[in-house]
Structure 1
Amino acid sequence: MKAALYYRGSLSSCNYDCPYCPFSKNKDSAATLAKDREGLEAFVDWVREQAGMGHVLSIFFNPYGEGLTHRWYRNAITELSHMAHVEKVAIQTNLSARLDWTDALNPAKAAFWVTYHPGQTGESQFAAQCRELYRRGIPFSVGSVGVKSAFQAISSLRRALPDDVYMWVNAFKDKPDYYSEADVDYLRAIDPLFDRNLTDYESTGRDCDTGYNVFYVQGPGIVKRCYKDRQVIGSLYRDGLEGLSKRRPCRMKCCDCYIGYIHMPELQLASLYGDRMLERIYR
Structure 2
Amino acid sequence: MKATVYYRGSLSSCNYDCPYCPFSKNKDSAETLAKDRAQIREFVDWVRRQKDEGHRLSLFFNPYGEGLIHRWYREAMIELSHMEHVDKVAIQTNLSARLDWVEQLEARKAAFWVTYHPGQTGETAFLKQCMTLYRQGLSFSVGSVGVKSAFGALSSLRRSLPDDVYMWVNAFKDKKNYYTEADFVFLRGIDPHFDRNAEDYASMDRDCNTGYDVFYVQGPGLVKRCYKDRSVIGHLYRDGLTGLSAKRACRMKCCDCYIGYIHMPELQLDTVYGGGLLERIAVNGSAG
User: Which interval holds the TM-score relative to the shorter structure?
Assistant: over 0.9
Partner Cα distance (1:96, 1:237) in 2: 32
Q: Partner residue of 1:119?
A: 119
Does the 8 A contact of 2:68 with 2:93 survive in 1?
A: yes
Secondary structure (helix, strand or coil) at the match of 2:13 reads coil
Q: Partner residue of 2:256?
A: 256
CA RMSD, aligned part only? 0.5
Identity, % of aligned positions = 76
Deviations 1:173-215 (A, max 9, x none): 0111000000011001100000000000000000000000000
For 2:43, the aligned partner's letter is F
For 1:97, the aligned partner's letter is A
Does the 8 A contact of 2:15 with 2:25 survive in 1?
A: no
For 1:273, the aligned partner's letter is Y
- Residue 20 of structure 1 and its aligned partner are, at CA, apart by 0.6
Q: Partner residue of 1:211?
A: 211
Partner Cα distance (1:236, 1:12) in 2: 21
Q: Hey, which bits of structure 1, 4+ residues long, moved more than 3 A?
A: none
Partner Cα distance (1:52, 1:25) in 2: 41
Q: Partner residue of 1:106?
A: 106
Partner Cα distance (1:48, 1:112) in 2: 21
Secondary structure (helix, strand or coil) at the match of 1:3 reads strand
Q: Partner residue of 1:71?
A: 71
Q: Partner residue of 1:132?
A: 132
Aligned pairs for 1:19-30 within 5 A: 19-30=19-30
Please, what TM-score do these two structures have when normalized by structure 2? 0.98
Q: Which runs of 5+ in 2 are unaligned?
A: 284-288
For 2:41, the aligned partner's letter is E
For 1:101, the aligned partner's letter is W
Deviations 1:76-118 (A, max 9, x none): 0100000000000000000001111011100000000000000
Partner Cα distance (1:207, 1:26) in 2: 37
Partner Cα distance (1:227, 1:6) in 2: 9
Q: Partner residue of 2:51?
A: 51
Secondary structure (helix, strand or coil) at the match of 1:59 reads strand
Secondary structure (helix, strand or coil) at the match of 2:52 reads coil
Does the 8 A contact of 2:10 with 2:36 survive in 1?
A: yes
Q: Partner residue of 1:176?
A: 176
Partner Cα distance (1:37, 1:28) in 2: 12
Partner Cα distance (2:168, 2:275) in 1: 17
Partner Cα distance (1:219, 1:132) in 2: 30
Q: Partner residue of 2:199?
A: 199
Partner Cα distance (1:129, 1:160) in 2: 13
- Residue 25 of structure 1 and its aligned partner are, at CA, apart by 4.0
Q: Which runs of 5+ in 1 are unaligned?
A: none
Q: Partner residue of 2:286?
A: none
Q: Partner residue of 1:32?
A: 32
Secondary structure (helix, strand or coil) at the match of 1:60 reads strand
For 2:81, the aligned partner's letter is S
